[in-house]
């Protein structure tokens, strides 16, 4: 029985040992399959268990690594970097750290190491497990990403710098282009100003010569007692002065600063009334034909300015047909939608009344056509044209809210079309200009307050008022005039210049009407930007006369205003 029991114990022990070996084999297989390095060292720091990854790291066989100490495998330098953590693990304290460690291929790789103490049945530490994760690739990836980010930032900075430099170059180019364009515009402006001032100087010098020379000779003849001979010099001085006045009106028309006296007008009636004048102007060698539309739309415009525009166009057409030809004046109702490229400026879409003046004369080249509306530009010989005709028409049309177009071909003729906005309210009224016959005298007691800062003009108008029998009170500015207007003095009419120093004439009239609500006011103006559009400047009981004016025209205007019922 004793031997039977012993045999059974031996068999059981063999089974146990076999099971243990099988478990060890399976454990080894498992840890060998792990992608991390696994090892176990005892208290003497000798390797007792290693997986395949651990052996492969150092390039050793299980027999070569088993039983060796950490120090023997790593060497002095590498072991010294781990000594602290080894001591911690043997003291029973788990630790984790990242360290560079040698690889069998000779490279230094980065590893995340974990030391996990192993306790025996009695609780004492009998060694520790080593778990190593190769983080070299992760570190390299992180480094690559970091480098990529850094180089990306550098590339972005470089690209941004390139863009900034390109933008700066573009700005510099734009600045240089703008400077060049400014220089070109300045040169063109100075050329236009030079042409303008040269034309003005030429024409005014001629006119002033006629005026100054005539006055000088008149003084000499009067001093010599030869008064009977001064009549022709008087006529010469007046003629030159009137030409100078006409030139200033044309300049104001070109600059759109003339004072327009707008009234409802039927263009057909105006053209018929001018037919005799236009026929005499064109000459017998030119055929005049009128082609006027039925029921042409009414317009609101300055009659005298429109007459001057038509007369200038007929003169231009006549000069373009020295050997004769055909002159056609047309009217028509048209609608402009803003798409007409022949017009010089943007068009406000709407209904317009058109007046066209066409000839079959010499026509214009493209270079002449481009400058046709420039002030003082003319193709006529010196002394035969001021070059203000078309520019005056252009300014008049623009100030009237209309437009001008010009078509011309060399050898085929020219057509100028003047467009004026349609008047929708009211029917055309009589558009006769003020009577300029003999100056009417005042009725007893009528009183006029005259405000004018120019001594010569003030003396002239004051002398006229006195000669016509008005009681006249003068003032050189608004400050001197206010006491007269605020007093109990009878005042039938205030005659004032618009462009007074300090308070202007329009402001003076407003204050005066606070004391005298029905006061009638006649404004005199040589040039006042705000007075250029009468409809926005004048109120009921107000009127305007443009300088220079004739004595008869001023006298009739004064008589007409005072005679109007309040």
* Mean pLDDT on 119-144: 85
DSSP annotation string for 84-113:
HHHHHHHTT--EEEEEEEE-TTS-EEEEEE
- Please list the alpha-helical segments (H only) found in 224-302: 231-254, 267-273, 275-282
Sheet containing 325-336: order of strands: 286-292, 325-336, 350-359, 413-421, 403-409
> Which 8-state DSSP code applies to residue 45?
-
Which residues are 133's β-sheet partners?
Answer: 112
- In this model, does residue 426 exceed pLDDT 90? no
What is the distance between the alpha carbons of residues 56 and 54, in angstroms, rounded to a whole number?
Answer: 5
pLDDT digit string, tens, across residues 32-67: 777 788 889 999 999 988 888 888 888 888 888 898
Highest averaged pLDDT of the listed ranges 203-207, 215-219, 559-563: 559-563
Quick one: which H or E segment has residue 174?
helix 136-223
Average pLDDT over residues 476-488: 90
Q: What is the mean pLDDT of residues 442-454?
A: 86
The pLDDT value recorded for residue 330 is 92
Residue 226 has pLDDT above 80, yes or no: no
Residue 139, phi then psi, degrees to nearest 5: -65, -40
* Residue 359 burial (C-beta neighbours within 10 Å; 0-12, 13-18, 19+): buried
- Tell me the pLDDT of the chain averaged across its residues: 78
pLDDT of residue 500: 85
Q: What is the CATH number of domain 447-563?
A: 3.40.50.2300
pLDDT at 433 over 50: no
Say what the pLDDT of residue 90 is.
92
Q: What pLDDT score does 127 carry?
A: 92
pLDDT tens, residue by residue, 527-541:
544 444 555 567 888
What pLDDT shows up at residue 196?
Answer: 54
The answer to whether 54 and 38 have CB atoms below 8 angstroms apart is: yes
Q: What is the pLDDT of residue 189?
A: 55
- Distance, CA of 463 to CA of 306 (rounded, Å): 33
pLDDT at 277: 82
Which residues are CB-neighbours of 495 under 8 A, at least 6 positions away?
448, 449, 450, 451, 452, 461, 521, 522, 524, 558
Give the model's pLDDT for residue 383.
43
DSSP of 543-555, one letter per residue?
EEEESS--HHHHH
pLDDT at 449 over 90: yes
Closest alpha carbon to 385 in 320, 306, 324: 320
pLDDT category at 432 given cuts 50, 70, 90 is very low
CB atoms within 10 A of CB 313: 25
pLDDT value, residue 264: 87
Q: Quick one: pLDDT at residue 438?
A: 58
Q: How many Å apart are CA 19 and CA 145, to the nearest integer?
A: 51
Tell me the per-residue pLDDT of 227-256, one tens digit each, with 9 for 90 and over. Answer: 776 777 677 667 766 666 666 655 554 444
Closest residue by Cα to residue 465 from 366, 345, 362, 554: 554
What share of residues in the chain are helix, strand, coil (percent, to 5)?
A: 50, 20, 30
Q: Which residues of 326-339 are buried (b: 16+ CB within 10 A; e: fewer)?
A: ebbbbbbeeebeee
Name the E strands within 271-402. 286-292, 299-302, 325-336, 350-359
Collect all residues with Cβ–Cβ distance below 8 Å to 25 and sequence separation of at least 6.
none
Closest CA to 403 of 345, 320, 470: 345
How many residues comprise the chain?
A: 566
- Report how far residue 299's alpha carbon sits from residue 422's, in angstroms, rounded to the nearest whole number: 5
The yes-or-no answer to whether 34-134 and 447-563 have a common fold is no
CA distances from 453 to 207, 437, 474, 487 (A): 25, 28, 10, 21
CATH number of 34-134: 3.30.450.20
- What is the predicted pLDDT for the residue at 240? 63
Extents of the domains making up the chain: 1-29, 34-134, 140-251, 261-421, 447-563
Better pLDDT: 237 or 352 = 352
Residue 430 pLDDT grade (very low, low, confident, very high; cuts 50, 70, 90): very low
Taking the C-alpha atoms of residue 475 and residue 462, their distance in angstroms, rounded to an integer, is 10
CATH 3.40.30.10 fits 261-421, yes or no: no
Q: Cα(151)–Cα(543) distance, rounded to whole angstroms? A: 81
pTM: 0.44
Cβ–Cβ under 8 Å, residues 237 and 214: yes
pLDDT at 387: 47
3-state secondary structure of 416: strand
Instruction: Choose between 107 and 536: higher pLDDT.
Output: 107
């Amino acid at each position: 029985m004793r031997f039977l029991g012993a045999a059974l114990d031996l068999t059981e022990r063999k089974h146990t040992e076999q099971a243990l070996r099988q478990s060890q084999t399976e454990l080894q297989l498992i840890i060998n399959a792990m992608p991390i390095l696994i090892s176990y060292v005892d208290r003497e720091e000798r390797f007792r268990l290693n997986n395949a990854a651990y052996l492969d790291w150092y390039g050793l066989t299980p027999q070569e690594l088993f039983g060796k100490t950490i120090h023997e495998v790593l060497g002095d330098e590498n072991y010294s970097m781990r000594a602290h953590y080894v001591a911690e693990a043997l003291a029973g304290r788990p630790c984790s750290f990242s360290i560079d460690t040698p690889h069998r291929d000779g490279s230094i790789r980065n590893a995340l190491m974990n030391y996990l103490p192993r306790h025996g049945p009695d609780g004492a530490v009998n060694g520790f497990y080593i778990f190593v994760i190769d983080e070299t690739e992760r570190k390299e990836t992180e480094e690559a990403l970091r480098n990529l980010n850094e180089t990306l930032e550098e590339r972005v900075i470089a690209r941004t710098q390139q863009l900034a430099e390109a933008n700066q170059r573009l700005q510099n180019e734009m600045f240089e282009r703008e400077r060049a364009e400014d220089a070109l515009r300045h040169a063109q402006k100075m050329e236009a100003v030079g042409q303008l001032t040269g034309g003005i100087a030429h024409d005014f010098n001629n006119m002033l010569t006629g005026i100054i020379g005539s006055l000088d000779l008149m003084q000499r003849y009067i001093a010599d007692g030869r008064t009977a001979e001064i009549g022709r010099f008087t006529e010469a001085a007046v003629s030159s002065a009137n030409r100078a006045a006409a030139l200033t009106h044309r300049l104001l028309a070109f600059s759109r600063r003339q004072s327009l006296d707008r009234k409802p007008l039927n263009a057909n009636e105006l053209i018929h009334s001018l037919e005799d004048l236009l026929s005499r102007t064109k000459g017998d060698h030119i055929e005049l034909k009128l082609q006027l539309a039925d029921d042409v739309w009414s317009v609101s415009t300055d009659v005298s300015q429109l007459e001057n525009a038509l007369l200038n166009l007929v003169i231009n057409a006549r000069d373009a047909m020295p050997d004769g030809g055909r002159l056609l004046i047309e009217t028509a109702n048209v609608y402009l939608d803003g798409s007409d490229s022949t017009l010089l400026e943007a068009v406000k879409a709407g209904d317009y009344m058109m007046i066209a003046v066409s000839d079959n004369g010499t026509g214009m080249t493209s270079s002449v056509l481009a400058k046709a509306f420039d002030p003082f530009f003319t193709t006529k010989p010196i002394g035969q044209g001021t070059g203000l005709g078309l520019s005056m028409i252009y300014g008049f049309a623009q100030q009237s809210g209309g437009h001008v177009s010009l078509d011309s071909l060399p050898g085929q003729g020219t057509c100028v079309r003047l467009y004026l906005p349609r008047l929708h309210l009211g029917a055309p009224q009589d558009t006769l200009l003020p009577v300029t016959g003999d100056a009417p005298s005042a009725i007893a007691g009528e009183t006029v307050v005259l405000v004018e800062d120019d001594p010569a003009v003030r003396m002239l108008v004051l002398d006229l008022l006195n000669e016509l029998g008005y009681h006249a009170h003068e003032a050189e500015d608004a400050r001197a005039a206010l006491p007269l207007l605020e007093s109990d003095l009878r005042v039938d009419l205030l005659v004032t210049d618009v462009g007074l120093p300090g308070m202007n004439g329009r402001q003076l009239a407003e204050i005066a009407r606070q004391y005298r609500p029905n006061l009638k006011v006649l404004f005199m103006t040589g040039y006042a930007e705000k007075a250029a559009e009468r409809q926005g400047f004048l109120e009921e009981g107000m009127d305007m006369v443009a300088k220079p004016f004739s004595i008869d025209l001023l006298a009739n205007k004064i008589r007409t205003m005072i005679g109007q019922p309040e």
